Amino acid sequence: MLSFDDPVPADVDRVLIAGVTGSGKTTLARRLASAWGLRHVEIDALFHGPNWTPRPEFLDDVRAFAAEERWVTEWQYTSKGTDEILAPRADLLIWLDYPWRLVRGRLLRRTVKRRMLRTPLWNGNVEPPMWKLTAWTGENDILRWQSETRHKWDERMPEITNRFPHLRIVRLRHPREADAWLAHVGP
């Protein structure tokens, strides 16, 4: 496993970014896409249909972009089957393993902002308004989801390294490391 100051091989064309909800996967994917000239496919946009319903074409869309030569995306929806599509094609996995307080604060700020501003997300969806109690306690509460999955990547990483030995992994433990890594591996 590589750290932020290890060199990354030059032959990286397909990148997965893993981390708990709120760690900054999409932000880093956008930055990396810009720096390396990769196509960024936001996987949430492929998954969520109108009214937050899963899109039936989701896995077909994932297969289609995974077959392309150069891309970066967030590694999510692993229980929906993305592991077997994305991991065999990826060259590099960036694991955002940030402190809990940091990712919790980020997600809380992002959620409050989206709910207050009624920010349009994928396929016309918006998060529920602030005043709606089920937005904070219901089955789809993003903060609850983050709490329940906060150790997911710690638990999965040994299996991932065994199942996908070709996959080079960079573990970043703080946003400062991500910034230093990006500066180090720039275009």
* φ/ψ of residue 182, rounded to 5: -60, -40
DSSP structural state of residue 2: B
Q: Is residue 160 very low, low, confident or very high in pLDDT (cuts 50, 70, 90)?
A: very high
7-45 pLDDT per residue, tens? 887 889 999 999 999 999 999 999 999 999 999 999 999
Are 179 and 98 in contact by the 8 Å Cβ rule? The answer is: no
* φ/ψ of residue 147, rounded to 5: -65, -45
Q: Does the pLDDT value for residue 162 go beyond 80?
A: yes
Are 110 and 97 in contact by the 8 Å Cβ rule? The answer is: no
pLDDT score at 45:
96
**In 130-165, which positions are buried (b, 16+ CB within 10 angstroms) versus exposed (e)?**
eeeeebeeeeebbbeebeeeeeebeebbeebeeebe
Is 0.75 surpassed by the pTM of this model?
Answer: yes
| Domain ranges across the chain | 14-184
The number of beta carbons lying within 10 Å of the beta carbon of residue 184 is 12
Question: With the C-alpha atoms ordered 142, 82, 100, 12, is the resulting torsion angle positive or negative?
Answer: negative
Helix orientation angle between 175-184 and 25-36, rounded to the nearest 10 degrees: 10
pLDDT score at 135:
54
Superfamily of domain 14-184: P-loop containing nucleotide triphosphate hydrolases (3.40.50.300)
